[in-house]
Amino acid sequence: MRTLKYAILGLVNRKSMTGYDISKEFGEELINFWSAKHSQIYPELKKLVDEGLLEYKIEITGDVLEKKVYTVTEKGRQDFLEWLAKDEKIEPTPKDQFRLRSYFSQALEPAIYQKLLESQLDQRKKKLAKLNRLFLQYQQVPPFGSDKFGDYSVLAGARIREEANIKWLELCLEAVRAEIKE
């Protein structure tokens, strides 16, 4: 489906950027729903240029360091917009290694499974706290159409998702603790 293609096109459509910039973006808000290493990004950029969806011009930083600053072509913008408006079927449930462990947990000592759950819960709570800190910057919902709406929306989604993870872990913990007490 070449989703990375559209992620890149979407980013460059908002603002001209280098491969390095794109790589950094994948480490920030985008981490909540997409990511790619630079070893995947650079070849994809080359491909997009070959396909006429992106162009670049070289800028010099300092004395000699070359930066390739990418811009979308009209063709690229059209391709992106077409993808963006597509009404797709919901994706299959994402894989989750800890849930796989949970599925097999009856093969484990309850006390061990409890430890695993507590460790997960601790990490999830820290992650949620981080998301909550980021969320503070929004006093209210930014209007749709402002460049902040997307950021807000996916951040709100990440919080809700993390809250659900925590809710589930707490439900499991309760069941295991009830078992141990008996």
Partner DNA sequence: ACAAAACATGTAATTTCAAACATGTTTTGT
Partner DNA sequence: ACAAAACATGTTTGAAATTACATGTTTTGT
Q: Output helix, strand, coil percentages for the chain, rounded to the nearest 5.
A: 65, 10, 25
Burial (CB < 10 A; 0-12, 13-18, 19+), residue 12, is buried
**Contacted by 55, from its own copies, DNA, none: CB < 5 to 8 Å by type:** none
- Look up residue 29 and give its DSSP letter: G
Phi, psi of 17 (to 5 degrees): -155, 165
**Contacted by 129, from its own copies, DNA, none: CB < 5 to 8 Å by type:** none
**46 near DNA, rule: CB under 7 A:** yes
Cβ distance to its own copies smaller for residue 28 or 59 = 28
Contact positions with DNA (CB under 7 A) in 83-112:
92, 95
Shortest Cβ distance from residue 41 to its own copies (Å)?
15
Distance (Å, whole) CA 159 – CA 29: 12
**39 near DNA, rule: CB under 7 A:** yes
Residues that bind DNA (CB under 7 A): 1-4, 18-21, 23-24, 35-40, 42-43, 45-46, 61-68, 92, 95
